[in-house]
Each structure stands twice: as structure tokens, then as C-alpha cells.
A and B are shown apart, each in its own frame.
Chain A
Amino acid sequence: MKRFTELIQQLETSNKTNDKIAALVSYFSTADEKDKPYVIAMFTGKKPRRPVTTALIREWAIELSDIPAWLFAESYHSVGDLSETIALVLPPAKHVTDRKLHEWITDLALISNKDDAAKKEFILQSWDSLDTRERFIFNKLISGNFRIGVSNKMLVNALAKQSDTDSNKIMHSIMGKWTPAEITYQELINGAHVNTDNSWPYPFCLAYALDSTPENLGETMAWQAEWKWDGIRGQIVKRNGELFIWSRGEELVTDQFPELHFLKDDLPDGTVIDGEILSVKDGSVQAFSILQQRLNRKTIHKSQLKDAPIGFYCYDVLEFQGQDIRTSPLSARRKILVDIITALQIKDVAILSPVIDFNDWEQLAEIRKESRANNSEGIMLKKLDSLYHSGRKRGDWWKWKINPYTVDTVMIYAQKGSGRRANHFTDYTFAVRDGEQLITIAKAYSGLTDIEIKEVDSFVRKNAIEKFGPVRTVKPELVFEIAFEGIAESKRHKAGLALRFPRIARWRKDKNASEINTLDDLRQLLASTLSNEL
């Protein structure tokens, strides 16, 4: 575990990608063989079953450190991370031990089925033999939430470099089905397991945002334009009689969308299609807020099937007749896609994402203005001769999004952030006006520079009216423009509506609290998105 702790330390002490990759490469070159697959599993979010509940861990930590529970809670608010708080408040360890990472993980898995007393004995003994940094790691192993600023792509790049293997192959391999106890590092690198696995998806090809006007992209002839649909990006995999639907979050979501299960019989084997999961009713794409009713549900009500029926808008084909065709040009892939979709027996559920006809960029800019009306987020531009890249690559695909909605709000609550933002008031709650009252409309914690955060932080400290634990009520004075992607009805919120992806667009120092938007303004906006007038 010491070697792994060192790795984490290195990953945390640098904010440069190259340093992090170097640290990972060095780790995978020197670490214990059996540890490596566990580390890859951890960094890619493959969680083992939680052996002990958070509540128990917290209780034992409080007991052992001999502090009152409220003081533990205050400490937690200041640190912003439970594993770390526990590591810091515990008394110094009386023993040392040097066990391997996979041994710790295996032991933790073994206590899963034991009673609480046995669990407690194991956890307390472990804490007493680890230093602060190791305890932090150990606690993270229990929770399984290891977010350490290593993206899948960064890990894959490091593994590719370390093993001198193609990064796409490694991405396939680690995204497939495997368990760290049953695979060696070398097998994982070689991708031995994925050939027999019918489910593996390809890494999604992602687009950068177009930061200028498309004129710079050159001839319109070379480009294909499509709507940028606002749903869940998905990949449909049909191999050997089995159907899998992956979301961009690398989750298998097959069961959530029964409307698409017909593809199991309707799609030929060896087909992989990239597209967007949307709610489509009477031939129109519905707002994301409607699709949302269908997400992450274990059971689906009939009314949900009726109100928010699912459709799949197909963008691309990555595998055809069992062949990886990602290196064929988009124009050729599109032809194949058209053939596949046209041949489907059931129409109107999996449909082609339409290609937009346009003659020049000016015309396309006009068409783009209609994006909101068909519930899309703007336009996608794809080069007709582009390959299907793994991940984000500059140049071939661009998203040309419409500007987000904005609303002027006033800050009414502030809370200390967690993680990197702990100790500063960085999480704010914003309100709009409703008659004489202020109604909470959004919480947001991004979009300000570090310097602005400090300015707001100091305002909060000077203008706090009340405190509830970590939350401060502040004088409603600071006006912020909040950008958001959509609006939905919500019974949970007092305002009766909720904003999607709210974030701070700018701090309106030029405005005062009397100039903010009203709840009625937002109600009108909500009504206009639901009316679906085209």
C-alpha cells in the first residue's frame, strides 16, 4: 500500500497532466503485479461491494478519536471529504504494517459478510497500523469512491505508454467486463477478455465546442451538419444475438429502455450504432426535462412509457458485419447507417438523425436559431472525411451550441465547498423575486475565478445574517447571472420549477438586487418549452 499511497501523493502534488502520466507510468512499471488490476479498476470506477456502511465507519471514528459527534461534523465540513476527515481526527497509529494493496482490498471484501463486531475489530486494527496518508487511502478503499483527478483517458494514455500498446485497444479492454481478482495486468493490457465479451462498446468520439464562427472551417462541401440533440448519448451494440445499450458514462443502461429492445431481433449481428437516447413523441423530440423521468429508474410506470416514450436518433455506425469501420470516412459510414436503419422492420423508434441541408455558413447560422424550437442544443458539424476518433480530438467534429438561457438572480445562501474548495464559501444558492419574497431557484458552484471566489468569500464572512451548520444566510446583495440549459417542473422545489445545469455565467456587479428576474419570467419560459410549437 505504501507504493500506492506514494502514487496518490504524486498525483495530487502536481497539476500538470504530463507529471501525472509520468507518475502513473512509473507506478505501473514498479508496482506489485497483483495490485495493478485493482488500481485500474479503482480509477475507472469499478466499485466493489461496500463492506461497511458509512454510518458505522463514522461512528467508530468518532468513538476512537474521543471527540463529540458535532465536532466531527464541523471537521468534516472544513475538510470536505469523509475519508480524509477520519484519517486526520484519529489518534496516531501505534503499529506499522506493510501489506499490499490487493491484500487490503481482498480482506475488506471478506469482512462484508461478517457481523458488526468483527468488522469493527478489523477496521480499528487497520487504522491503528496505518499513518495518516495510508488511512486516507484505506478509507477510500472502503467507500470505493476514488476520485483523484485521473480521467479514464489519462489512465489509458499512461497504460498505453507504459506497455507500448495502442490506446484504443486499452480503452476497449478496461471498459469491458472484468474483475481484478481474475485478471492479470498483462491480460488486461492485451485485452484477452474483451474478444469473448459481446458487450464492449467503442470509446465515444467527442467534439470540441466551436469557439469562433464556422467560416474558418472552410468549404461547406466538406461538412455534414446535424442537430445537436439534447438527450443521453448512447451506443447500441448487437453481437451474437445479444443487445447492449451503453451510455456515455460507460454504464450499461439496456434495461432502462425497453422501447429499444426490438433491435435485438431487428439489427444484424456485429452492428454498433452511436446515437442519442431521446424522448420522442408523435415524431417530435421532447424537452430533456421529459426524458429525465425515464432516467435511472428500476421500474417504469405505464404512464411514463406513455408520456416519455423513448426514441434513438442514430448518428453513426462504428461496427458493421462484425468489422470495426471507424477508420472509414464519415460519408461512407453514413451510407451504411442509412442502409441499416432503412432495413429495420420497426420504423420510427430508431431513426436517422437528419442531416441539415445548407448552402453556406450564413444560412446554417439562420437554421441554428431554430434549435430551441426542436429541443436541440445547436448544431453538430462533422467533416465528411473524418474517422470516428476515440475521445476528444480537435478539428474533425465541432459542436456549435446555441447560447444557454440566462436569468439574473441574487445570492441568498453560501456554503463552504468540498474537496479543493473546502474552507472557502464557494457553493451558493440563488433566488429570484416573487412579489415581496425571494424564492430559491438554483444552487451553483462553478463559473467564478479564484479571485472572484475570494471576493465573494469575504463578502459572505462580513455579511452573514444567520448560520445553520455550514450554511450562511447572507444579505441579498450580490447579483449573479445564472446560465442554464433547460427548465423543468419540479414538485420538490418551492419555486415549482428547476433549472438544468445551472452555473454562474457572470457576476453582475453592475446590477443590484432590485433588478433581478422574477419567478413569473421563469414560469413563462417553462411554458414555452413544453408547448413544443415548431
Chain B
Amino acid sequence: MALISFTNKGIFCKQGGFYIDPWQPVDLAVTTHGHADHVKFGNKAYLCHELTKPVLLHRLGADLPVQTLPYYKEITINGVKLSLFPAGHVIGSAQVRLEYKGEICVISGDYKVEYDGISTAFEPVKCHTFVSESTFGLPIYKWLPQEEVFGKIRNWVSDNHDQLKTSVLIAYSLGKAQRLIKNLAGDQKIYVHQSIANLNEGFIKAGVDLPETIRITPDLKKEELQKGIVIVPPALADGKWMKSLMSASTGICSGWMQVRAGRRWQSADAGFALSDHADWPGLLTAIKATEAEKVFVTHGFVSTFSRYLNEIGIEAEEVTTRYGSEEDEEIIKEA
């Protein structure tokens, strides 16, 4: 009998009696990471990586019943061995490895292959069955090394600085924001929206080494911001607050910025193709490294990517889930 099945509540491990990233309330939700499409309110218990706990408490309530695990530590639930492996997607993101009677299944949630400087680096796990996302599962998505992208962002920031413009980066508050902070810290002060500041506080308490940032408060002078880098979540991209900024230049950091249409769709001044998801070569490398006999392809270019996998000799099946991409939803919502 298969170790996992796809039900209307989410990915279910019958032998273990728990779900992975369910979208309807269940008894035990094993949670890969804290993005809203992977964790919902109302489960009786949550199990996640230590560094995902502060995110869940912040987002779903301080009294949420959350148990944690460090990476690699194995526990047994109803005879099913369960352990977490780094997914490299955001701080605390994990792939869930299940083992039962010699059968191994890995549910990867969201992942990226390149080390981003702040999330524990992705690690391929050998398995029989692998569940993979396909957010950027088209060969047009090939990321530049992140140092090159950050080089572009730094140049842009310094151009803005010369023109007395505020550099406003639009980035998802969990993941992209911390990545930007870690990699851009140095020359200029970084100001962050409170949704980012709150998450950062949780991470710092949990022991993450995050550079110092300044929380944007109503009494902070706009002239002050002008000298620095401002990071805000996408929901604010078109808001009143942005319009009140003096001569701001906005830059969106998202994988969708790889394509000109993606850049033009947003009313931003600059787009940087920086993603927390694996690109096309990344997906293929990761999947091949698992040596899986069977791959379930979830959210993204599902049918295209699974067709390609089958053609290159990797058995793959399309699965409908309710996962989107946080990049997809968050950025596009307010455009």
C-alpha cells in the first residue's frame, strides 16, 4: 500500500494517521513551512521545524499547539518514521521524509537548490517516491547565480541613491525579505514594514543571525527613509503609503520577473528575477538526485513538467493540490 495519498483534505499518510500541509482541518498537520498556502488554521496539532514555529505562532496564534523537530532527527508516529530535511526555500523550511517498512517517501513542500545565505541549504534525500513542486517548471526559468542578482540590486540601489530616490523593494515578508536583508546589509540602512519586522523578531529570538533593520513606524520621517533601502510586502506595493513616499523607485523581487511580460504586468520601476523556488535546472537536478521511482508533481506547471519527466524516463504523475505560489498570490493580488 502506498505511503501517501492525495485526498480532499491534503496529502495523507494513512499508516501514520497524519497529513502533510493539509488545507482542511485535521488532527495532525506536518508543516513544511509557514507560507499561507501550506499551513492553515484549525488543525488540532502541528509538527514543523524549530525555525518554522515562530512563524506559525506569529501567524496563527501564540497558543497554537506546535511541536518541533530539528533537521535530521527521526521520530516514529504509528510505526512511520518521520524526519525533516532542509528544503532551502525559506528559514525553517523542510522536506518531510517518511519511511515505513523500507518504503521511503519525501514530500518537499517548496524548495530551491541554490543556497541563499540564510535558509539551511537544500539537501537531496534518496527515496522511492518524491513529491515536487513545479512553480517554475518551464525551461525559460533559469536563475542567475544570486550574487549576480544582488549585484544588480546593489547597482540599482546606488543609482537611486544618486538620484535622491528611495529604493523600495517589494518582497514577500517570509523568506524573500530575510534573504534580501542578509545579502544587502552593509552600506545602507534597511527599513522594513512591520509585518517583516515582527517575523524577524521571532527569528532573532529563535537564534537566527539576522542583520539589524529598522521597523517603519508612522513617526519615522520620510526623509530618513530616502537614504536607505525599504522592504515592504507586495500587499503594500500600490497602497497609499507607497504613494506618500517622496520619489520612490520600486523594485519587485520575484521569479516571475524573469519574463518581460511579468515585469510589465506590475507597475514597478524594476524587476529582479530572484526566487525562493527551484528553477528548471534546479528542479531536474533535485529530482534526479532523489533517484525516486515515482514523482508526484504538484503546484506550478504541473502537466508540462510531468510530461517532460515521463519523456526523460522518470515516472511522474500530476497531482491537484491547493498550493499556489506565494509569489503568485501575494504579488499579483494587489497589482
Q: Which of A261-269, A391-399, A418-426, A503-511 contacts B (4 or more CB under 8 A)?
A: A418-426
Q: Which of B258, B265, B311 lies at the interface centre, i.e. has the most chain A CB atoms within 10 A of its CB?
A: B265
Q: Is B139 an interface residue (CB 8 A)?
A: yes
Q: Are B140 and A75 in contact (CB under 8 A)?
A: yes
Q: Are B265 and A420 in contact (CB under 8 A)?
A: yes
Interface string of B117-144 (1 = CB under 8 A from A): 0000000000000000000001111100
* CB proximity to B under 8 Å, residues A69-91: 70-72, 74-75, 78-81, 84-85, 88-89
In the complex, which of the residues A72, A84, A89 contacts B260, with contact meaning CB atoms closer than 8 Å? A84
The minimal Cβ–Cβ distance linking A87 to chain B, given in whole angstroms, is 9
The minimal Cβ–Cβ distance linking A57 to chain B, given in whole angstroms, is 16
Q: Which of B220-228, B266-274, B289-297 contacts A (4 or more CB under 8 A)?
A: B266-274
Q: Is A151 an interface residue (CB 8 A)?
A: no
Q: Are A419 and B264 in contact (CB under 8 A)?
A: yes
In the complex, which of the residues A68, A136, A423 contacts B256, with contact meaning CB atoms closer than 8 Å? A423
Residue in chain B with minimal CB distance to A91: B142
Q: Are B260 and A12 in contact (CB under 8 A)?
A: yes
Number of A residues near B (Cβ < 8 Å) is 31
The CA-CA distance from A418 to B141 in the complex, in Å, is: 17
Q: Are A85 and B140 in contact (CB under 8 A)?
A: yes
The minimal Cβ–Cβ distance linking A168 to chain B, given in whole angstroms, is 31
Q: Are A81 and B308 in contact (CB under 8 A)?
A: no
Residues from chain A with a CB closer than 8 A to the CB of B311 are 68
Residues from chain B with a CB closer than 8 A to the CB of A74 are 138, 301, 304
Known interface pairs A79-B140, A85-B140, A88-B258. Does A12 touch B263 (Cβ–Cβ under 8 Å)? yes
The minimal Cβ–Cβ distance linking B268 to chain A, given in whole angstroms, is 8
Q: Are B267 and A423 in contact (CB under 8 A)?
A: no
Q: Is A15 an interface residue (CB 8 A)?
A: yes
Q: Are A79 and B269 in contact (CB under 8 A)?
A: no
Q: Are A421 and B140 in contact (CB under 8 A)?
A: no
Known interface pairs A13-B269, A450-B335. Does A65 touch B139 (Cβ–Cβ under 8 Å)? yes
Q: Is A67 an interface residue (CB 8 A)?
A: yes
Q: Is A293 an interface residue (CB 8 A)?
A: no
Q: Is B62 an interface residue (CB 8 A)?
A: no
Q: Are B308 and A71 in contact (CB under 8 A)?
A: yes
The minimal Cβ–Cβ distance linking B23 to chain A, given in whole angstroms, is 15
Residues from chain A with a CB closer than 8 A to the CB of B264 are 12, 15, 419-420
Residues from chain A with a CB closer than 8 A to the CB of B141 are 88
Q: Are B261 and A80 in contact (CB under 8 A)?
A: yes
Q: How many A-B residue pairs have CB under 8 A?
A: 73
Residues from chain A with a CB closer than 8 A to the CB of B259 are 78-79, 84, 88, 422-423
Interface string of A393-418 (1 = CB under 8 A from B): 00000000000000000000000001
Residues from chain A with a CB closer than 8 A to the CB of B333 are 454
Number of B residues near A (Cβ < 8 Å) is 26
Residue in chain A with minimal CB distance to B140: A88
Q: Is A125 an interface residue (CB 8 A)?
A: no
Q: Are B270 and A13 in contact (CB under 8 A)?
A: yes
Known interface pairs A13-B270, A75-B139. Does A421 touch B263 (Cβ–Cβ under 8 Å)? no
The CA-CA distance from A450 to B142 in the complex, in Å, is: 28
Q: Are B265 and A421 in contact (CB under 8 A)?
A: yes
Q: Is B79 an interface residue (CB 8 A)?
A: no
Q: Is B204 an interface residue (CB 8 A)?
A: no
Q: Is A14 an interface residue (CB 8 A)?
A: yes
Q: Are A71 and B139 in contact (CB under 8 A)?
A: yes
Residues from chain A with a CB closer than 8 A to the CB of B308 are 67-68, 71
Residues from chain B with a CB closer than 8 A to the CB of A84 are 259-260
Q: Are A89 and B140 in contact (CB under 8 A)?
A: yes
Q: Is B236 an interface residue (CB 8 A)?
A: no
Q: Are A419 and B261 in contact (CB under 8 A)?
A: yes
Residue in chain A with minimal CB distance to B156: A13
Residues from chain B with a CB closer than 8 A to the CB of A79 are 140, 259, 261
The minimal Cβ–Cβ distance linking A338 to chain B, given in whole angstroms, is 49
Q: Give 21 A-B contacts (CB < 8 Å), ordered by A residue.
A: A12-B264, A13-B270, A13-B271, A67-B308, A74-B301, A75-B140, A78-B259, A79-B140, A81-B260, A81-B261, A84-B260, A85-B140, A88-B141, A89-B139, A92-B142, A418-B261, A422-B259, A423-B259, A423-B261, A423-B262, A450-B335
The 5 closest A-B pairs by CB, nearest first: A422-B261, A88-B140, A420-B264, A74-B304, A75-B140
Residues of B within 8 A of A (CB): 138-142, 256, 258-265, 267, 269-271, 301, 304, 307-308, 311, 332-333, 335
Given contacts A419-B264, A454-B333, 9 further A-B contacts (CB under 8 A): A13-B269, A13-B271, A67-B139, A71-B139, A78-B259, A79-B140, A79-B259, A88-B258, A422-B261
